[in-house]
Amino acid sequence: MGVPEQLAARMNMAEQHEYLRNRFSRRTMIRGGAVTLGAVAGGAFVPGATAQAAVPTRADTPAAATVDGALVAPFGRHLAYGNDASTEMTVSWQVPVAVKKPFIRIGAHPWDLSRKIEAEVRTLYTPAGVGASGNHTQYYVHAKLTHLKPGRTYYYGVGHQGFDPAEPHLLGTLGTFTTAPAHKKPFTFTAFGDQGVSYHALANDALILGQNPAFHLHAGDIAYGDPTGQGQASDTGFDSRTWDQFLAQTESVAKSVPWMVSYGNHDMEAWYSPNGYGGEEARFTLPDNGPDKANLPGVYSFVHGNTAIISLDPNDVSFEIPANLGISGGTQTKWLEAQLKKYRASQDIDFVVVFFHHCAYCTSTSHASEGGVRQEWVPLFEKYTVDLVINGHNHQYERTDVIKAGAVTKKLPIGGTAYPETDGVVYVTAGAAGRSLYAFSAPLSYEGHENEVESVSSFINVKGGKQNETVTWSRVRYLDYSFLRVDVTPAAKGRTATLTVRGIAESGEQVDHFTVARKAK
């Protein structure tokens, strides 16, 4: 049903979508006047109404059964900040079948959930012939909450006709979330990439919940519904049902911790337009303050306390996996510079953290470093003295020394302190969240097991292939499941504010720690 393999190899993702739009008829569009984000051979995503999920009209689409809502329980709850993390939150969830009149209840106490807000259903249909899914319809529900109070904890429950979380026997289904504070306060956040569905992924989720983070950053390759990760419709292993497993697995933490995702190569699901992100748009509601919501839905920023967070889409600049190479036409890089300039000028922002999938600096024997990132974004990170860059893509933990202009400006041993204003930028690869691990060419070196080497042989992905390089910036290398914990400590004006960054193994062992320090504004 997709693009022929030989033809797909010569097309980028946009060209594949155009081919498929011309090939398939309007039978893939949606009944009832709903606006579609796109319909291609494989899937259609519809922003549904607040009553009942819209269902595709394809002749082979199974009709939604009429099910008593009392017999259907929501699952897969996950949170995300809005554009203003102190006053906006989106609660998202799934239902296994179509339901009527979905809603959210919210209040300051579990016994006071009088505020009831209608929710939006987004239906994602994947027909037989697309990977292993086989006529699978998924119902994602979203409720965007605004005008919340900063730094406030709210109780909420999600439901639909026949299932009201305010009923006494359903109070156990309630969740909580806390908005970002209006002022500078200490807080913790966590981060990793490349999670998928596995025992290790679940174990990392449980350990992250124990850190009590204000939010979590997921640096791409979220569920691995598409295990090939090339962004091609000719890939045969795609299974949309993997997302049902993933969101059920993640609910234990994401129902109370904003799960802020960035998109990697395995998140380009070519069967959903535009640019393979239609499925992600059905599943997540992220801040929409990026440069191009339609083509780059995973690009956005938000502020928590004294720290600005920027999410980028490296598929736009990747030479290694070029399915979406150049989709922004340079607008993402221009937006990035504008954001960095704005945050550095703000008297309320001390730290700027950037996260995305492909690595600027990594020595994995698998993907290693991405030349497109170094070419497009690293000069801006250095110009605006970004405090921390977090990546995934390579399934391991690796941390650099302090880097500027491609060279080490300061060795950063375990327990050391970096000063971005004068030293340069530190890069952390935290891609060991749950998928199978990669390898290093150099010996492991981590806390309590330091093994310093003068240089490491690696490579960088450039236009046209791989280019070997010998690097001196690889400081910490750990090869087991792990994640990143960052403790943010503000300070009075003129005093030193800090980011304390820790690499934490699935066992709970600390494998790295260092500090980023900056004079508070």
Structure tokens at 373: 């990132």
User: Do 77 and 197 share a structural domain?
Assistant: no
What total of structural domains would you count in the chain?
2
CATH of the domain at 94: 2.60.40.380
User: Do 231 and 151 share a structural domain?
Assistant: no
User: Do 382 and 514 share a structural domain?
Assistant: yes
pLDDT the model gives residue 500? 98
**Residue 182 falls within a domain, yes or no?**
no
Evaluate if pTM is beyond 0.85.
yes
Where is the domain boundary, 106, 141, 176?
A: 176
pLDDT the model gives residue 234? 84
Contacts of 305 (CB under 8 A, 6+ apart): 180, 181, 183, 184, 185, 187, 488, 490
Where is the domain boundary, 176, 208, 242?
A: 176
**Residue 183 falls within a domain, yes or no?**
no
pLDDT the model gives residue 59? 31
Q: Hunting for tokens 């992600």 — which residue is that?
A: 280
pLDDT the model gives residue 9? 53
Beta strand spans in 371-416 (E): 388-391, 397-400, 402-404, 407-410
Give residue 510's domain range: 190-519
User: Do 156 and 221 share a structural domain?
Assistant: no
CATH of the domain at 286: 3.60.21.10
Where is the domain boundary, 148, 176, 204?
A: 176
Kindly compute the dihedral angle of the four CA atoms of residues 471, 502, 83, 383, in this order, to the nearest 10 degrees: -30
**Residue 329 falls within a domain, yes or no?**
yes
pLDDT in tens, the chain (521 residues): 445 555 555 555 555 444 444 443 332 322 222 222 222 233 444 433 222 222 332 333 344 556 899 999 999 999 999 999 999 999 999 999 999 999 999 999 999 998 999 999 999 999 888 877 778 999 999 999 999 999 999 999 999 999 999 999 999 999 999 999 999 999 999 999 999 999 999 999 999 999 999 999 999 999 999 999 999 988 788 999 999 999 999 999 999 999 999 999 999 999 998 999 999 999 999 999 999 999 999 999 999 999 999 999 999 999 999 999 999 999 999 999 999 999 999 999 999 999 999 999 999 999 999 999 999 999 999 999 999 999 999 999 999 999 999 999 999 999 999 999 999 999 999 999 999 999 999 999 999 999 999 999 999 999 999 999 999 999 999 999 999 999 999 999 999 999 999 999 999 999 999 999 999 99
Cα dihedral across residues 184, 83, 215, 484: positive or negative? negative
User: Do 264 and 379 share a structural domain?
Assistant: yes
**Residue 267 falls within a domain, yes or no?**
yes
Contact 170, 163 (CB under 8 A): yes
User: Do 512 and 366 share a structural domain?
Assistant: yes
User: Do 224 and 151 share a structural domain?
Assistant: no
User: Do 415 and 372 share a structural domain?
Assistant: yes
**Residue 280 falls within a domain, yes or no?**
yes
